[in-house]
Amino acid sequence: MEFLMPASIRHFCVMALAALAFSAGCASNERPACGTSADCPEEGQVCREGACTVVSQPTCSGDSDCDPGFVCVASICERTSVDPDAGEPDADTSPDVNIPDADTEPDTEEPDTDQPRVTRVIPVDGARQVPLDTDIQVTFSKEIDAFRTLNIQSFFIADPDSITSTHGAIEVDIEYQEDERIAVLTPRQPLRPATQYTVVVTTGVQDNAQPANPLFQRFESTFVTDSTEPADLENIAATYAPIIYQDTRLIEGSEINIDVPTTIDFDGDFDASNNLANARRSTTRTSAAVYYSVSETESHHFIHYTLYYPSRRTLNGGDFQYAEHDFTDIVVAVNRASGEVELVEGTRVEGAQSSEDYLTYKPDSSPVSGRGSNDFLTFPASALDDGARYPLFVPSGVHAGCNWVVRPDGITNTQCPYDDESFNSSSADAGYVLRPGDQGQTFDDATENPETGLREITYELVPFVDTIWSRRADFSCGLFEGVGFSYNPEEVPDYDRLVGSTPNNPLYLPTSLCSESASSNGKTPFAWFKFGTTTGGAWFLDPAIALSTRYDFGESFSREYCYNRFFDVDRREDPACAAQ
């Protein structure tokens, strides 16, 4: 332990040592007189009791242990910068030090918890007729970590048919434009026509914050690629559009809409589940329309004319029963070289779980013959209006693709193997005639044809591919029910039909229209007819196969499509597909 003497004893000792020093080193013991320490001639001297005295630097534990003019610093008495005799010393004898910040916590920023969002997408959600070579641009609300989180698992284009795609997503290149916060998807191959694609951005996309924030929520946006029908095929559909003899015998008053073919969105929306209710409103008058689609092989045109009715109405035990939706259809086979109609096949479409019935007719001039037990009814070629337009008869309430014949003796004969096939031409509930025109009319617009005495209106031709096929991925109910089927037709003898652009890629297609009715007859054209198993769809999607397996069209017949939008085939520029 260090022992510290009291200041009075230490001062006495210092004075005694100083006296010895002077007596030993000087001729005289006198010390220089002074008034203040500034009068002392030697460095280290202080003026004490009127004489200059040398002062040592004793140890200390506080300022009280030191002489006037000295302070205790690091346990040693050191001279202050202020002369004690020059005035009052600073009362605060503590060394000047920086006062620390009262907040001893390190300065930190609040963490970034703002989640990125998608603020813009091009093409916009719901866009139609989008070019096949389009890029998809997605803009984010803040900068994202593109290097780590922007990839084909978190950012992709979903393909409804899964053709030329991996796990439902098409092959793309991804680019991120950091300054604009835009991510760009570029398909490696052109998109397919008449197809609804979905742009998907998942929460796997994250920003650059620490810790990182994921996308606020999964983002989806849809667009439909160009579905315009080629002009030459549109002209073909108009040339062979049928004359429709529509019976109305089972319809009363305002319910005429049940016997007017129209579009699925006649009420202004693509919500099929409200069609029955909207069609039965007394204030509703539906405009007449018929869907068309054209497939073309090297030898023939196959033209489908699809009639949609908001309801089927049947009479059962004196009571009317209603089912939501009803379809009928005819396919017209035309020889491309001669331009002549060779076969017409109609349908009667039943419920979603039922089969369909063939109603096959041919002009008496046609060379087509049946295979095996497959047969047809014959009608005079002269019954074709302008040599091209088939006389289609549709029974009231229960709609089917029948035949209307006027024999040379002037007697009308409707050919359809179902009840209620009569067409009244003179009574109050007489039927009416629909002819193709530029615009669809309502039943109230009907005018009498002076030559026949029958009421007539015009119907509009509507491209099936643009309006219905392009929406085949809409299982939202909405338009189609959520359960579909895989179209992958069976092999036919001596011929292997590829579905889509590559083999073994079945199309997943909707089976039924949505309905809120207890009874629905909305089986979609995609699912019509079967080859003997649960596989359907060939009759509508692949008519060259469906018809030629049951009928012989002659040696020049070709099953090779020049154009089939359902299979994404377009070979019209090939020499074998040149216009006949």
Give the pLDDT mean for 200-229.
93
Instruction: Considering only residues 259 and 80, tell me which one the structure prediction assigns the higher pLDDT.
Output: 259
DSSP three-state, residue 78: strand
Q: What is the pLDDT at residue 557?
A: 95
Q: Quickly name the fold that domain 118-225 has.
A: Immunoglobulin-like (2.60.40)
Look at the block and give the residue holding tokens 């040398």.
54
Task: Report residue 520: phi and psi, to 5°.
Answer: -130, 140
Q: How confident is the model at residue 507 (pLDDT cuts 50, 70, 90)?
A: confident
Distance CA 186, CA 202 (A): 18
Instruction: Considering only residues 25 and 555, tell me which one the structure prediction assigns the higher pLDDT.
Output: 555
Q: What is the pLDDT at residue 502?
A: 52
Tokens of 230: 């080629």
For the cut 60, the answer to whether the pLDDT of residue 29 exceeds it is no
Q: What percent of the chain has pLDDT over 70?
A: 74
Q: What is the pLDDT at residue 60?
A: 67
Lowest mean pLDDT among 57-61, 145-149, 536-540, 544-548: 57-61
Q: How confident is the model at residue 7 (pLDDT cuts 50, 70, 90)?
A: very low
Dihedral sign computed on CA atoms, order 74, 75, 76, 81:
positive
Q: How confident is the model at residue 19 (pLDDT cuts 50, 70, 90)?
A: very low
Q: What is the pLDDT at residue 91?
A: 53
Q: Taking a C-beta distance cutoff of 8 angstroms, is the pair 245, 394 a contact?
A: yes
Lowest mean pLDDT among 3-12, 50-59, 123-132, 140-149: 3-12
Q: Rounded mean pLDDT of the chain?
A: 81
CA angle in degrees (0–180, nearest 5) for 298-304-308: 165
Q: What is the pLDDT at residue 35?
A: 72
For the cut 50, the answer to whether the pLDDT of residue 17 exceeds it is no
For the cut 80, the answer to whether the pLDDT of residue 272 exceeds it is yes
Q: What is the pLDDT at residue 185?
A: 94
DSSP three-state, residue 23: helix
Nearest to 381 by CA among 414, 345, 406, 417: 406
Instruction: Considering only residues 312 and 289, tell me which one the structure prediction assigns the higher pLDDT.
Output: 289
For the cut 70, the answer to whether the pLDDT of residue 48 exceeds it is no
Q: What is the pLDDT at residue 21?
A: 39
Q: Where in the chain is the domain with CATH 2.60.40.1220?
A: 118-225
Q: How confident is the model at residue 535 (pLDDT cuts 50, 70, 90)?
A: low
Q: How confident is the model at residue 422 (pLDDT cuts 50, 70, 90)?
A: low
Q: What is the pLDDT at residue 292?
A: 98
| 455-463/432-437 β-pairing | parallel
Q: What is the pLDDT at residue 520?
A: 86
Taking only the tens place, the pLDDT of each residue in 49-89 is 566 655 545 556 777 777 677 777 656 666 665 444 444 55
Instruction: Considering only residues 61 and 515, tell me which one the structure prediction assigns the higher pLDDT.
Output: 515
Give the pLDDT mean for 327-334.
96
Give the pLDDT mean for 130-152.
94
Q: How confident is the model at residue 44 (pLDDT cuts 50, 70, 90)?
A: low
CB neighbours (10 Å) of residue 349? 28
Q: What percent of the chain has pLDDT over 90?
A: 47
Instruction: Considering only residues 15 and 388, tell me which one the structure prediction assigns the higher pLDDT.
Output: 388
Strand order in the sheet with 127-130: 127-130, 219-225, 196-201, 155-158, 169-170, 165-166
Residues 6+ apart with CB under 8 A from 9: none
Q: How confident is the model at residue 249 (pLDDT cuts 50, 70, 90)?
A: confident
Q: Taking a C-beta distance cutoff of 8 angstroms, is the pair 322, 276 a contact?
A: yes
Q: What is the pLDDT at residue 241?
A: 98
Taking only the tens place, the pLDDT of each residue in 76-129 is 666 665 444 444 555 555 555 555 555 556 656 788 899 999 999 999 999 999
Distance CA 272, CA 475 (A): 12
CA angle in degrees (0–180, nearest 5) for 49-53-58: 110
Give the pLDDT mean for 309-317.
86
Q: How confident is the model at residue 423 (pLDDT cuts 50, 70, 90)?
A: low
DSSP three-state, residue 286: coil
Dihedral sign computed on CA atoms, order 239, 245, 250, 254:
positive
Q: What is the pLDDT at residue 202?
A: 94
Predicted TM-score (pTM) of the model is 0.76
Taking only the tens place, the pLDDT of each residue in 349-403 is 876 556 678 889 999 999 999 998 888 989 999 999 999 999 999 988 889 999 8
Q: How far is CA 224 from CA 183, 289, 369, 558, in A?
A: 20, 23, 41, 32
Residues 6+ apart with CB under 8 A from 513: 264, 272, 324, 325, 479, 480, 481, 520, 522, 524
DSSP three-state, residue 492: strand
Give the pLDDT mean for 282-306.
94
Instruction: Considering only residues 353 and 456, tell me which one the structure prediction assigns the higher pLDDT.
Output: 456
Q: How confident is the model at residue 39 (pLDDT cuts 50, 70, 90)?
A: confident
